[in-house]
Amino acid sequence: MNGAQAVLESLKKEGVDVVFGYPGGAVLTLYDAVYKMKFPHILTRHEQGAIHAADGYARATGKVGVVFATSGPGATNLITGIATACTDSVPLVCITGQVANPYIGKDSFQEADIFGITTPITKHNYLVKDVKELPRVLKEAFFIANTGRKGPVVIDVAKDVFDAKIDYEYPETVNLRGYSGVYDGNDKEIAAAVEAVQKAERPLIFAGGGIVSSNTAAEVQKLAKKLGVPVTSTLLGLGTVPADTEGFLGFAGMHGSYAANMAIQKCDLLLCIGMRFSDRVTGRVDGFAPKAKIIHFELDRAEINKNVTADLKVLGDLRWTLPRFNKKLSATKEKFAEKFKGWKDEVIKMHEEHPFSYVENGDVIKPGALIKRISELSDKDTIAVTDVGQHQMWAAQFFDVYKPRHFLTSGGQGTMGYGLPAAMGAKVGAPDSKVVLFTGDGSIMMNCQEFATIADNDIDVKVVIVHNCILGMVGQWQRLFYNHHYSQSELKGKTDFVKLAEAMGLKGYRLTKKEELDTVLPKIMAEQGPALIDVLIPEEEDVLPMVPGGKRLDQMVLGGSKK
C-alpha cells in the first residue's frame, strides 16, 4: 500500500463518506487512489468552495468535513474556509499536498508553508514528511477535530509521502499527553449554579453554538421548560430551541430582537450556555447585563472571563454539565416555572409589542416579507443557510428555525461567499432535508462558480438572492455613519443572475412584485432540483433593530421593529 491509499483507508475507518476537493500536482497520487478505490468525492470549482462545502456538511451532520487540496495556491485557497471553521468551532480535516521532501524550503514550484500559514487559524496542524507518521497523524487529526471544542485540523503531506510504501496499520487509540478531549465538569460548580437559580427572580437563558456542537439542545429545552424562563440565543445558537417555543425571543445582539436585548439588560441571572461573548452579541461590554449574575457554562476554559467576566463558571462538556444541572434542579422540588412566570410574561409581552417586523411599501418585495414567506413554505426540517450581510440578519430574524444544525451561517468571521458552497455541503450531508440558501447580490458573486458544481451533481439547493444592487450592510453603515457616501458599495445590477443560473446549468427565476410571493414562489419552492431565485428588493432598506457599534444593548435603534 502507498501513502495515498493509507490516507483513504484511514478516512474509511473514520467513517468519512464523502470528500470535497480539487486535484493538482502535489495530490495526483492521492487522486489516483480516489479513482482506484472509487472514493466518494465532489469536485468543486474552487478550493474555497470545497472547504465551505465541507464546513456546511459538518455543521449539518455533526460529522467531520474532509477537504483535499493541492499544494501552494490550492492550499492557500482554503485559508478563508479554515479561519471560518476555526472561529465557529467546526470540525474539519484538511489534507493538503506539499512539494516533495527534497524540494521543501527551496521556493519550489507551488510551494507555500501551509503549516506556518495555518498555525494561527487551526486547532492543530501537521506537516507529514515521513509516510510512517501518516496513520498516527490521521487518527490524531480526526480525534482533535471532533472532540473538546471542535475545530479544523490541517495535515500538509509531502508529495513523495503519498507515493512511499507503507506497512499500513491504523492505530486504535491516540496518545496525546497534553490533550484528552474529555472535559467532565465539577459538581461544586453545578451546585453553585443551582443555588444561583434558586436565589434569582428574573433569570434568562442565553443559548450559544456550543449547544449545537455538543448535541445538547434537548437538555437546554428541558432546562427552559423546567425553569419556565425566557430564552434567547446567539446567531449560531439559533435552532437550539424551536422557534415556536413559548418565551423564545429570537437571537440577541447587534440586530437581535428588542425583547432579547432588553431582557439581557433587565435580568438578574443570565445562564450563558456554550457561547463566547462576541462583540456582536454583547454590544458595549461594560454595560452588558448590568443587573445580572452571569453564569457561564463552557467547555473551553480560555473562554471564561475572556470578553465578559462571569460571576460563576460551570466548566465542562455540556454533555456532562447540563444533564447534571437539570437533575440537580429537579431534585430541589422548587416550582420554578410558577416563580418566574411574572417575569416571563413581562418579557413575552415586550416581544409581542416589538417583534421583528417591517413596513409594507406598495408593491415592492420587502426582504422581511420574502424570508417570512419562504419560512412559511418550508417544513420544520428545512435547513437554512446564509451568506453574509443584510440578508443574513433578515434570515436570522424572519426564518423560523426548529432544530439545531438547521441554520448554517458564518458567524464569527462573517465570510462572504460562504453560503453557496456551504448549502451544497449541507444538502450532500442531509439529502432528506430541503436546503434554502439566502444570499445577497454581493455575497453570491464571491463563490458563484459553485453553481456549476450544484448543477453537475444535481444538488437540490434553492438559492434566494436578496438583490438590492448594493453591498447592503456596507451601504447601511455608510448611510448611517458615513453621511450616505456609498463608497465602492454600489453594484450596478448589470449581472443577470437568471442567465447566470441558466449558463451554469440550473433553473433561474426572477421575482419583482409582492404578489409573486404568493403566486410564483410556492411553485418554485416545490420543484425538484437546484434553482436560483433572483428577488429584487428596494435598495435603501436597513436591517433594524440595531445596536450601533460601541453602544449598550438597551441603546437599540428600533425603526422597523415597531408594530
Partner 1 sequence: MKKYLLAVLVDNKPGVLTHVSGLISRRAFNIESISAGYTEEPEVTRINIVVSVESKNELDQVVTQLGKLIDVIKIVNLSEVDSIERELVMIKVRADKSNRAELIDIVNIFRANIVDVSQENVVIELTGQQSKIDGIIEVLSEYEIIEIARTGSIALSRGPVPVKQM
Verify whether residue 341 is a known catalytic residue.
no
Binding segment toward partner 1, per CB under 8 A, in 111-119, 193-201, 386-394, 399-407: 111-119
Active-site choice (109, 327, 341, 527): 109
Active-site choice (159, 266, 434, 462): 159
Residue of the chain from 116, 290, 342, 549 that contacts partner 1 (CB under 8 A): 116
Site size with partner 1, rule: CB under 8 A: 22
Label residue 175 exposed, middle or buried (CB < 10 Å: 0-12, 13-18, 19+): exposed
Residue 284 interacting with partner 1 (CB under 8 A): no
SS3 (DSSP) at 283 = coil
How far from the centroid of its chain's Cα atoms is residue 14's Cα?
23
Residue 549 interacting with partner 1 (CB under 8 A): no
The residue to which cell 424562563 is assigned: 229
Q: What is the smallest separation between the CB atom of 174 and partner 1, expressed in angstroms?
A: 10
Q: Which helix (H) or strand (E) is 83 found in, with range? A: helix 79-87
The residue to which cell 437550539 is assigned: 240
Active-site choice (254, 262, 393, 473): 473
Q: Which helix (H) or strand (E) is 157 found in, with range? A: strand 152-158
Residue 136 interacting with partner 1 (CB under 8 A): no
Q: Work out the number of other CB atoms within 10 angstroms of the CB of residue 162.
A: 27
Residue of the chain from 215, 309, 361, 512 that contacts partner 1 (CB under 8 A): 309
Q: What is the smallest separation between the CB atom of 181 and partner 1, expressed in angstroms?
A: 10
Residue 406 interacting with partner 1 (CB under 8 A): no
* Closer residue to partner 1 (CB): 137 or 435: 137
Residue 188 interacting with partner 1 (CB under 8 A): no
Residue 438 interacting with partner 1 (CB under 8 A): no
* Closer residue to partner 1 (CB): 91 or 419: 91
Q: What is the smallest separation between the CB atom of 91 and partner 1, expressed in angstroms?
A: 14
SS3 (DSSP) at 18 = coil
* Closer residue to partner 1 (CB): 176 or 480: 176
d(CA 218, CA 441): 37
Verify whether residue 248 is a known catalytic residue.
no
> What DSSP designation does 295 have?
E
* Closer residue to partner 1 (CB): 56 or 148: 148
Residue of the chain from 1, 109, 165, 176 that contacts partner 1 (CB under 8 A): 176
Verify whether residue 109 is a known catalytic residue.
yes
d(CA 4, CA 421): 26
Residue of the chain from 120, 171, 529, 549 that contacts partner 1 (CB under 8 A): 120
Q: Which helix (H) or strand (E) is 124 found in, with range? A: strand 124-128
Verify whether residue 159 is a known catalytic residue.
yes
Label residue 61 exposed, middle or buried (CB < 10 Å: 0-12, 13-18, 19+): middle
What letter represents residue 121's amino acid?
I
Residue of the chain from 15, 106, 178, 563 that contacts partner 1 (CB under 8 A): 178
Phi, psi (degrees; rounded to nearest 5) at 414: 60, 60
CA torsion angle 121 125 129 134 (round to 10)? -140
Residue 180 interacting with partner 1 (CB under 8 A): no
Q: Starting at the edge strand that comes first in sequence, how are the strands of the sheet with 92-98 ordered?
A: 41-43, 19-21, 65-69, 92-98, 152-158, 124-128
Residue 177 interacting with partner 1 (CB under 8 A): yes
β-sheet bridge partners, residue 126: 155
Label residue 426 exposed, middle or buried (CB < 10 Å: 0-12, 13-18, 19+): buried
Q: What is the smallest separation between the CB atom of 430 and partner 1, expressed in angstroms?
A: 30
Q: What is the smallest separation between the CB atom of 229 and partner 1, expressed in angstroms?
A: 29
Verify whether residue 169 is a known catalytic residue.
no
Q: Which residues are catalytic?
A: 47, 109-110, 159, 473
Contact footprint for partner 1 (CB under 8 A): 115-116, 119-120, 123-127, 144, 149, 176-179, 300-302, 304-306, 309
